[in-house]
Amino acid sequence: MRNWYMYLHALDGMEELYTRDDFAFFRNFFCQHPEAEKVIEAIKQTGRIEWLNYDKANHVSMDYLAYAKDPEGFAPNCKVPTMVIFPEDDMFLWKTQAADTPSRMDAECRVEIIQGGHWSMLDHPDDVNKLMVEWFEAPISTARQDVKEA
Amino acid sequence: MSLPGSTMKIGGYSYHVSDQGDGDKVAMLVHGMPDDGSCWKYQAPALLKAGYRVIVPDTLGYGRTDRPVEVEHYKLEKIIEHMFEIIETLGLRDIHLMGHDWGSAITWPMVLQRSATLGASMARHSKPRSGCTRS
Residues A49 and A92 in one domain: no
**The three-state (H, E, C) secondary structure of chain A, written as one string:** CHHHHHHHHCCCCHHHHHHHHHHHHHHHHCCCCCCHHHHHHHHHHHCCCHHHHHHHHCCHHHHHHHHHHCCCCCCCCECCCEEEEEECCCCCCCHHHHHCHHHHECCCEEEEEECCCCCHHHHCHHHHHHHHHHHHHCCHHHCCCCEECC
Residues A9 and A61 in one domain: yes
Q: What is the pLDDT of residue A148?
A: 55
Domain enclosing residue B49, as ranges: 6-124
Residues A80 and A142 in one domain: yes
Within a domain: B1: no
Whether the Cβ atoms of residue A28 and residue A45 lie closer than 8 Å to each other: no
Within a domain: B120: yes
- Whether A10 has its CB under 8 Å from any CB of chain B: the answer is no
Within a domain: B57: yes
Residues A39 and A89 in one domain: no
Residues A103 and A134 in one domain: yes
Residues A17 and A36 in one domain: yes
Domain enclosing residue A59, as ranges: 2-67
- Whether A148 has its CB under 8 Å from any CB of chain B: the answer is no
Instruction: Specify the number of domains making up chain B.
Output: 1
Neighbour tally for B81: CB within 10 Å: 14
Q: What is the pLDDT of residue A63?
A: 83
Residues A134 and A89 in one domain: yes
* ipTM for the complex shown: 0.91
Residues A90 and A136 in one domain: yes
- Whether B124 has its CB under 8 Å from any CB of chain A: the answer is yes
> From B79, which residue of chain A is nearest by alpha-carbon distance?
A54
Residues of A in contact with B130 (CB under 8 A): 63-64, 66-67, 74-75
CB contact under 8 A, A54 and B134: no
Within a domain: B86: yes
Per-residue pLDDT of A104-149, as tens digits, reads 899 999 999 999 999 999 999 999 999 999 999 988 644 445 555 5
CB contact under 8 A, A100 and B68: no
Instruction: Specify the number of domains making up chain A.
Output: 2
CB contact under 8 A, B69 and A50: yes
Within a domain: B103: yes
Q: How far apart are CA A5 and CA A25, in angstroms?
A: 13
Angstroms from B36 CA to nearest CA on chain A:
9
Residues A33 and A84 in one domain: no
A 18-47 residues with CB < 8 A to B: 30, 33, 35, 38-39, 41-42, 46
Per-residue pLDDT of A17-40, as tens digits, reads 999 999 999 999 999 999 999 999
Residues of B in contact with A39 (CB under 8 A): 1, 34-35
Instruction: Kindly report the CATH number assigned to the domain that includes residue B47.
Output: 3.40.50.1820
Domain boundary pick from A39, A67, A95: A67
- Whether A63 has its CB under 8 Å from any CB of chain B: the answer is yes
Between A64 and A113, name the one with better pLDDT: A113
Residues of A in contact with B124 (CB under 8 A): 84-85, 120-121, 128
CB contact under 8 A, A121 and B63: no
Per-residue pLDDT of B47-97, as tens digits, reads 999 999 999 999 999 999 999 999 999 999 999 999 999 999 999 988 999
Per-residue pLDDT of B12-45, as tens digits, reads 999 999 999 998 999 999 999 999 999 999 999 9
- Whether B118 has its CB under 8 Å from any CB of chain A: the answer is yes
Within a domain: B73: yes
Within a domain: B91: yes
CB contact under 8 A, B112 and A75: yes
Domain boundary pick from A47, A67, A87: A67
Classify each residue of A109-145 as buried b or exposed e, where b means 16 or more C-beta atoms within 10 Å of its C-beta: bbbbbbebbbbbbbbbbebbbebbbebbebeeeebee
